[in-house]
Amino acid sequence: MINTLHPKRFRKSGFTLIELLVVIAIIAVLIALLLPAVQQAREAARRTQCKNNLKQLGLAIHNYIDVATVLPPSACINPVSATTAGNGSWGVHGRILPFLDQGNLYNSVDLTIGWDFQQAINGLKIPGYACPSDPRSDEARDPGSGKVILYPTSYGFSFGTWFVYDPTTGRGGDGAFYPNARLRMAAFTDGTSNTLLAAEVKAWTPYMRNGGPASTAVPATVADAEAAIASGGQFKNTGHTEWPDGRVHHHGFTTTMPPNAKTFCTDGTSVFEECDYNSWQEGKDGLSGSPSYAIITSRSYHTGTVQAALVDGSCRSISENIDLSVWRGLGTRSGGEVLGEY
């Protein structure tokens, strides 16, 4: 008898539709679980880099003091001139360049003349002036305008509580910086560990300017602050976009309102929930100018906090829920406040 071999029948292996859907669902769950952890790790790294940037600013200021014996002024304004060029004065960011490993850049610019047409800074982004969590820090200012192209800064220097500068008397505010200041460390009688030096600000913050406040008293509430903001005669959406500029709305902050405060304003069409204010641009019209009062709020993209450097060179995260009186006390150099823990 002849045996007939029958071919083996093979069954094709593979996933069923249900099995495939189950695998996809498992992968989706794993991604959903892992993604927040990855994002948190990235934000922690960005927050660490941001704090390091502030630390470097603090060290640069101390190195500046070692050479000059005083803190840098926020701007240099000619006290006998009736007019001062709009962008004629460099701020602290420009004055500390040699102490941030930017000596070549410092030697390429002239701090005695306006910065707005000096090509050495054209299109140049200084990494240490931008918080890596600030999404608009890479957005250039004034491309195609004929002036130099600038990138914003995410760090402002402390101008104190509210009053900034009076050109008729030369008197400055109660913070660490103001125009024509020559403050020594001995001026910080509240203690260098109890006084703000610099803190985070947001690039491209909207602000109102060039209008007198209804009262020169420090605004007591958010409503008072918004009334002062509304008194401004000109709306701008370019706060903190000109890092060389010495005016408070570009390279500073005040402690009028607590960190991350919501202060609303409008440009006549849109409403903005984070708005600042400068009653008059310091030095804009020399002796004929008005006094400057400012609500320039420290704000951060790090949830619930802002990071700050103190005059002693230390850095710390400060809660947006800090008591306003404590925050204002940190803004003054010699206010005599008793602060306690914060």
pLDDT over 90 at 159, yes or no: yes
End-to-end alpha-carbon separation of the chain, Å?
Answer: 100
Reduce the secondary structure of 284-317 to three states and give it as a string.
CCHHHCCCEEEECCCCCCCCCEEEEEECCCCEEE
d(CA 86, CA 75): 12
User: Could you report the per-residue pLDDT of 178-231, keeping only the tens digit for each?
Assistant: 999 999 999 999 999 999 999 999 999 999 999 888 789 999 999 999 999 999
Which whole number is the average pLDDT over 24-33?
Answer: 81
d(CA 304, CA 169): 39
The answer to whether the beta carbons of residues 136 and 203 sit under 8 Å apart is yes
Q: How many CB atoms lie within 10 A of CB 214?
A: 12
Summarised one tens digit per residue, pLDDT across range 226-240 is 999 999 999 999 999
Beta bridge partner(s), residue 319: 305
The CB-based long-range contact list for 111-116 (8 Å cut-off, 24+ gap) reads: 111/76, 113/88, 114/85, 114/86, 114/87, 114/88, 114/89, 115/87, 115/90, 115/148, 115/244, 115/245, 116/86, 116/87, 116/147, 116/148
- Predicted confidence (pLDDT) per residue in 72-104, tens digit: 999 988 766 655 555 778 999 999 999 999 999
pTM of the model: 0.87
- Pairwise pLDDT comparison (164 vs 8), residue with the higher score: 164
18-23 average pLDDT score: 78
Q: Sorting pLDDT into bands at 50, 70 and 90, what band is 273?
A: very high
